[in-house]
Structure 1
Amino acid sequence: MEARPRVIYLPDTMNDWPWPRAMNPHYEAVKAEVDASFRDFKALSAKSQEAFDKCDSGSTYNAFESACELINVFIIVDEYTDVENAAVTEAMVGIVIDALHHPHKIRPEGECILGEIVRQFWARTIQTASMSSQRHFLDSYTAYLRAVVVEALDRDEAHCRSIDDYIKLRRDTVAAKPAIAIHEMGMDLPDEVFYHPAIAALAECIAELMLIDNDMISYNREQARDENHNLITIVMLELGLDRSGAMAWAARYHTEVEKRFMDGLAKVPSWGPSIDVLVKEYLDGIATWARGNHSWSYETQRYLGTRGPEIQRTRLVTLLPKVNCKAASAAAKVNVADLSIMDNTAHCEQPSGSSGPA
């Protein structure tokens, strides 16, 4: 007689979040245009492109075309770096940072395609983005990229961080801050407002809500591949909890962060009527982004395959069996000397029901 499959209960973390799910009316048109232009890069193998398409990467809250493009950029950078060691990841990150700072410079022939993808995204975005928002994005996206290198080093060394150290790093690797920076591209928030401790603390809360939700929802896929960069895994190891206990711990922590955000809203100072209107729009936007991230995680096929909506209703996830990841170098050869990449097809063998990219 076959043993019953093990099942994970996925708590509903956003049930009481005041900002509802909303779909931008321009979503379908913008998504189609952005996805078509991205496909022209031929940055992925046919199999990888198919998996990438299932990520449904259009933004759910913003009319900016750059928001949709940025999600594609996040996913493709993750797709390339997730399978690489720290040295190769650092080389790729260097290319991306250079492209951001030189958006009108022709990229070297044979360079990793990430450089051209990011260059084109940023060259288009800066045509309409305010100067302050450009500075804020570059700061936060660079912090994200540097954190991705640290994550790769942890992966090389099979290093498992403490809960506190992990959350500190994950606030950056979840890419929440550059994502929400896109929301201010149509406004001019002064640095003294954007970096004010009260505003920065609220942005930290959104980053934590997003990392908790992302790690809970992606845990099944990641445990199948023995990946350690996940809050549930970290909590299980440090606190000696089983999966259910770690999920419950994460849900409680999510509730604490929600309260911290709501309390923080009441402590936001005034900078005068004209700035206060922008601050309210910005804070509403980042709060909506937390909801959008949660909804996208269930509606995309990146983490839960085609069963996302069903799992969101039932809260039950069947535990995936362990799978063997192919060595990145066997499928995607990256020459760090000339920083070139031919074709990235390095993926884990996808178990049934797991259709997202690595």
Structure 2
Amino acid sequence: MLEEMDTQNSTTELAKGCAHPEMLYLPETVRDWPWTRMINPYYKEVAHESSVWLKSLEPFKERSQYAFDICDFGRLAALAYPFASREDLRTAADLMSVFFAIDEYTDVEPQQVVKEMTGVIIDAVRNPTKPRPEGEVVLGEITRQFWVRAEKTATPEAAKHFVDTFADYLDSVVIQAGDRDQNRIRTAEEYFETRSNNIGTRPSFAIGELHLSIPDYVFYHPTIKELEFLSSCLVALDNDIVSYSKEQALGDDRHNIITVVMHQFNLTLPEAMNWASERHKKFQDQFLDGLRNVPAWGKDIDDQIAVYIEHLGGWPRANYCWHFESGRYFGSKGLEIQKTRYVPLYPKRNRVTHLHKEDIDIPIVDCL
């Protein structure tokens, strides 16, 4: 099906003969999305380099590191930045690992601890030459090393935009932790406002402009911000649709749109999936309509903003493809599920939440 794709990693503990009482149908949300699948030719070598770098900092114990590795975050970067230089792709691959390491570390912590962790992380970005203190959470050094490398190739405008959007992302992670502490489930509209930040797309979009010099009055124009919001919502919806089975099994689905609309509108699971698919189509239409409203600022800026918008359009397709090509949500069955559209509703399991930091337990999907 995908000639350039290497064979997926499979786990050594593959669950065999496990009968699940319910199968969940996944709507094909990007069937008509005009951006097609592409992958950066530097994918394999850069993904390997980035993985070796992260492991050298020892953020996880062996089993959890294995579960992290089969997610293939370098592939996500290569799909999202198909035309990036080798250097910029390395920055993108490192950032994907930064995001998901933050996700794993903060998902099991109360809001106050998450606030302390995110404070360390943003300080590392704002002060990348400052040595990190002994005994500090490793996320600080991971982020510092990432940004030291990234900043070397970033224009001043791109660097500023990344730091600003990354700070917003970290703030939203703290908000999510507060919701988790209070067992709060937001309304759908509240969800989109929060999720458009904590899905991590806005800092990721900024990586797509590392070589560009987009002035603030263009970058923060309402039309550009609306396109960013819509692209982020498309990514979030697809993420929530494919991750729901895993997240509900682990009891980590409060910030999933499927849970949100089932709770808010008293929907069944199939009805909630249909709601998410219809909202996805609405956001697609709004994004494509919004492209017609992008102002003209002169050839130099227009050419640069066109490159930036390509990243906004490409991310939903890249994200969608990665869901099935990696082991993050479907283990070794991703390509099969992409064809059949059916995923088992994994049985409930108690995730080990008393382990923290490098001892964190990252579940392997094939073992659910």
Partner of 1:98: helix, strand, or coil? helix
Counterpart for residue 217 of structure 1:
242
Shift, 1:344, TM fit: 2.7
Counterpart for residue 5 of structure 2:
none
Question: Whole-Å Cα distance in 1 between the matches of residues 330 and 305 of structure 2?
Answer: 35
Counterpart for residue 333 of structure 2:
307
Partner of 1:8: helix, strand, or coil? strand
Give per-residue Cα distances to partners, 1:209-239, cap 9 Å, x unaligned: 0000000010000111222110000011111
Question: Whole-Å Cα distance in 1 between the matches of residues 291 and 331 of structure 2?
Answer: 36
Aligned pairs for 1:301-340 (under 5 A) are 301-327=327-353, 330-332=354-356
Which of 64, 86, 103 does residue 128 from structure 2 map onto? 103
Counterpart for residue 54 of structure 1:
70
CA distance change for structure 1 residues 104 and 14 in 2, over 3 Å: closer, same or farther? same
Letter in 1 for 2:246: R
Give per-residue Cα distances to partners, 1:241-275, cap 9 Å, x unaligned: 11110000000000000000000001111001111
Unpaired runs of 5+ residues, structure 1, are 333-340
CA distance change for structure 1 residues 116 and 252 in 2, over 3 Å: closer, same or farther? same
Partner of 2:337: helix, strand, or coil? helix
Shift, 1:29, TM fit: 1.1
Shift, 1:353, TM fit: 4.6
Aligned length: 341
Which of 297, 304, 313 does residue 271 from structure 1 map onto? 297
Counterpart for residue 29 of structure 1:
45
Which of 279, 297, 302 does residue 253 from structure 1 map onto? 279
Counterpart for residue 345 of structure 1:
360
Letter in 1 for 2:290: G
Q: Percent identity?
A: 40
Shift, 1:347, TM fit: 4.4
Please tell me whether residue 38 in structure 1 is matched to residue 64 in structure 2.
no
Question: Whole-Å Cα distance in 2 between the matches of residues 347 and 35 of structure 1?
Answer: 17
Which of 270, 277, 283 does residue 244 from structure 1 map onto? 270
Shift, 1:74, TM fit: 0.5
Counterpart for residue 33 of structure 2:
17
- Return the TM-score normalized by structure 2: 0.90
Contact (CA 8 Å) 2:104, 2:360: kept in 1 or not? no
Shift, 1:155, TM fit: 0.7
Unpaired runs of 5+ residues, structure 2, are 1-17
Shift, 1:325, TM fit: 2.0
Letter in 1 for 2:355: A
Contact (CA 8 Å) 2:329, 2:365: kept in 1 or not? no
Partner of 1:184: helix, strand, or coil? coil
Instruction: Give the CA RMSD over aligned residues.
Output: 1.4
Aligned pairs for 1:117-132 (under 5 A) are 117-132=142-157
Aligned pairs for 1:87-236 (under 5 A) are 87-227=112-252, 228-236=254-262
Give per-residue Cα distances to partners, 1:285-325, cap 9 Å, x unaligned: 22112211111111111111111111111110111111112
Question: Whole-Å Cα distance in 2 between the matches of residues 309 and 85 of structure 1?
Answer: 36
Counterpart for residue 338 of structure 1:
none
Letter in 2 for 1:83: V
Which of 302, 314, 318 does residue 288 from structure 1 map onto? 314
Instruction: Kindly report structure 1 stretches of 4+ aligned residues shifted beyond 3 Å.
Output: 350-354
Counterpart for residue 95 of structure 2:
70
Question: Whole-Å Cα distance in 2 between the matches of residues 222 and 4 of structure 1?
Answer: 16
